[in-house]
Amino acid sequence: MDSVDLEVLKNSVKWLETGHKVTLVTVTKTWGSSPRPAGAMLALRDDGLVSGSVSGGCIEDDLIHRARTHTLTGTKPEVVTYGVSGEEARKFGLPCGGTIQVVLEPLARAAPMQALLEKVEQRALVARELDLATGASDLRAAKADEALQFDGKRLVTVHGPRYRLIIIGAGQLSKFIAQIALGLDYQVTVCDPRTEYMDLWDLPDVTLVREMPDDLVVRLKPDAHTAVIALTHDPKLDDMALMEALKSDAFYVGAIGSRVNNDKRRARLRDFDVAEEQIARLHGPIGLYIGSRTPPEIAISILAEMTAFKNGVVLPDEVRVEVAKRAQATAPGCVIEA
């Protein structure tokens, strides 16, 4: 769950507790090109104030108008579809004639939304089931592969913990990765027990810790919404953290270094009795091959690969650093460092 959706829940609770009426808007289906996916949410206050987004702004404008003109007066959830005709697509600014179906749900009390918010902040994966006929909702534990479901009568939305990124090492590259990761909506923790690296950090939204990296990984218990990357080039720090991360449910575990150094790292991990199937999860050399040389370019390469795995994209071997550099190294007249 990204911070945008968390803000929707938080603002819904806050507005309800201060006496406002709130309508929760959830995208349930899209056709053609649409700016926001199914599951995107928006909270609409009775005076037209909004939190979140369900489109590029066009549908929000219509919802704000309806709130301010008091035409959102229903007491039960309703289904609204935008952009069915070409004229509506032009009116609401939907790209390529796209169509968006949303559920408008009047929220009666803050307590149910507060309960959902608390479970999400506790890093639980939660399903919320809404009965459109009655407006009643219930919470339950969601399955790992569960997604939004809507049959016209019952809406099931899945709310999970915010994605986390654990960075081992506080060097220059780590700063660029942290900055970009914050823009991608990750909750970023940087770990480095070496004080000479940590004292000059100035990113206020990043959590800095000085404990040993393996202790941190054990304490944070990486789950399927967590990525761990090791960037110190120091085996005493990187390898110990990787040993714990590779045993966890982290969706992505990577390490900086050349092909030769990563081969040595894998050998060291075997010496520590890390299983082959766990070692196979390690991304190293880390990142996609985009010809990157500077720290900002390397950061983009790493986060591009991490994003692909987060989104379930199967990458061709040709874009992996190890494969691409090996191909270059074997090209006639080409000499490249390992």
| pLDDT tens string 211-252 | 999 999 999 999 989 999 999 999 999 999 999 999 999 999
**Sheet order of strands, 226-230 included:** 207-209, 187-191, 164-168, 226-230, 252-255, 282-283
Of 256, 227, 225, 168, which Cα lies nearest the Cα of 3? 225
Fold (topology level) of 164-329: Rossmann fold (3.40.50)
Beta strands in 70-148 (DSSP E): 78-82, 99-107, 126-131, 137-141
Of 72, 79, 81, which Cα lies nearest the Cα of 151? 79
User: What's the number of CA atoms in the CB half-sphere (13 Å) around residue 269?
Assistant: 27
User: Residue for token digits 């061709």?
Assistant: 316
Residue 77 has pLDDT above 90, yes or no: yes
| pLDDT tens string 134-163 | 999 999 999 877 889 999 999 999 998 889
In this predicted structure, what is the pLDDT of residue 143?
A: 87
| pLDDT tens string 91-115 | 655 555 578 899 999 998 999 999 9
| pLDDT tens string 20-52 | 999 999 999 987 666 678 899 999 999 999 999
Question: What percent helix, strand, coil does the chain show, rounded to 5?
Answer: 40, 25, 40
CB 315 within 8 A of CB 289: no
Domain ranges of the chain: 3-159, 164-329
In this predicted structure, what is the pLDDT of residue 336?
A: 44
Residue 315 has pLDDT above 90, yes or no: no
Residue 27's beta-bridge partner residues?
102
CB 259 within 8 A of CB 320: no
User: Residue for token digits 């399955």?
Assistant: 143
Eight-class DSSP state of 8: H
Close Cβ partners of 240 (under 8 Å, ≥ 6 residues apart):
212, 213, 214
pLDDT band at 335 (very low <50, low <70, confident <90, very high): very low
In this predicted structure, what is the pLDDT of residue 275?
A: 95
pLDDT band at 318 (very low <50, low <70, confident <90, very high): confident
| CA–CA distances in Å: residue 7 to residues 42, 53, 137, 151, 322 | 9, 11, 20, 27, 40
pLDDT band at 329 (very low <50, low <70, confident <90, very high): low
Residue 75 has pLDDT above 90, yes or no: no
Average confidence score pLDDT of the chain: 88
